């Protein structure tokens, strides 16, 4: 069986599960932005400490790969609603990452200098693009093969989407424009490589046939996010009501004491 035949013969139920999982993981909810914030904190401190170990740890928890893959799915499905959603999520995550990294650097960079981990991410090359293409092929195939899900962390480390963005933030804070421009180019090379390769893979898998699954999942995720926001709002209002009642009781006790 040829490679293409193998790709096209993937089970339909696995495709549906992959689409649902991918869209859910790229939903711009509290969990997504919390993990993005934590990962950029780790990545920035790793860059300032010049520690590859800390940077690798940040890659393992960063959810940035999912909206990029969701973008690829939207193109392969010609789903413009999902396309807008993916671009919006990716844009917000990018701004959050760069902004948070710049702020952290402003507060802590006086103890550190520009190290090799920062400089290495300011020197883009064709090899990085080829790594991104290979990673795009690998992660696309892995997404539709549940038995290979344990390889996802390794792919996330290989493609390294978060560190270049964190490097942009560090460069902005340090006014190192060569670092900023190099890191931006590296990030764009990674994104283009992953998106291009995964679009080809998803097209070969005929994910277009799962467009209805994607549409239902997007609606379900939007409803879930709204419900979570309403629940959080109710909790805030309850806390305010409790605080108000406690203060009122304190005032009454004070008046009675007088």
CA–CA gap between residue 117 and residue 55 (Å, rounded): 9
**What pLDDT score was predicted for residue 252?**
65
Give domain limits for the chain.
Answer: 3-211
pTM of this prediction? Answer: 0.85
CA–CA gap between residue 249 and residue 9 (Å, rounded): 69
Cα 164-221-56 angle, rounded to 5 deg: 25
Q: Across all residues in the chain, what is the average pLDDT?
A: 86
Asked if 228 and 32 touch (Cβ cutoff 8 Å), the reply is no
User: CA dist 93 to 62, 89, 104, 179, 189, Å?
Assistant: 10, 6, 16, 20, 17
For residue 121, give the 3-state DSSP assignment: coil
* End-to-end Cα separation, the chain, in angstroms: 90
**Average pLDDT per consecutive 10 residues, the chain (258 residues; last block may be shorter):** 73 87 91 93 92 89 90 92 94 95 87 81 90 90 79 71 93 92 94 94 89 90 87 76 65 64
**What pLDDT score was predicted for residue 251?**
62
**What pLDDT score was predicted for residue 250?**
61
């Amino acid at each position: 069986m040829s490679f293409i035949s193998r790709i096209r013969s993937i089970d339909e139920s696995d495709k549906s599960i992959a689409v649902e999982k991918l869209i859910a993981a790229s939903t711009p909810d509290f969990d997504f932005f919390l993990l993005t914030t934590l990962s950029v904190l780790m990545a920035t401190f790793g860059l300032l400490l010049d520690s590859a170990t800390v940077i690798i740890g940040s890659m393992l928890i960063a959810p940035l790969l999912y909206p990029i893959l969701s973008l690829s799915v939207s193109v392969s499905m010609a789903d413009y609603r999902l396309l807008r959603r993916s671009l919006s999520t990716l844009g917000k995550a990018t701004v959050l990452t760069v902004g948070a990294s710049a702020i952290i650097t402003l507060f802590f960079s006086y103890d550190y200098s520009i190290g090799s981990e920062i400089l290495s991410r300011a020197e883009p090359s064709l090899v990085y693009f080829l790594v991104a293409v290979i990673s795009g092929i690998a992660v696309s195939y892995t997404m539709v093969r549940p038995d290979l899900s344990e390889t996802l962390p390794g792919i996330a480390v290989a493609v390294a989407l978060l560190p270049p963005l964190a490097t942009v933030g560090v460069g902005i804070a340090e006014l190192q424009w060569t670092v900023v421009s190099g890191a931006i180019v590296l990030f764009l090379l990674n994104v283009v490589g992953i998106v291009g390769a995964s679009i080809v893979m998803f097209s070969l898998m005929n994910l277009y046939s799962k467009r209805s699954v994607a549409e239902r999942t997007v609606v379900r995720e939007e409803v879930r996010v709204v419900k979570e926001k309403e629940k959080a709002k109710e909790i805030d209002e309850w806390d305010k009501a409790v605080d108000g009642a406690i203060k009122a009781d304190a005032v009454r006790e004070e008046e009675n004491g007088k």
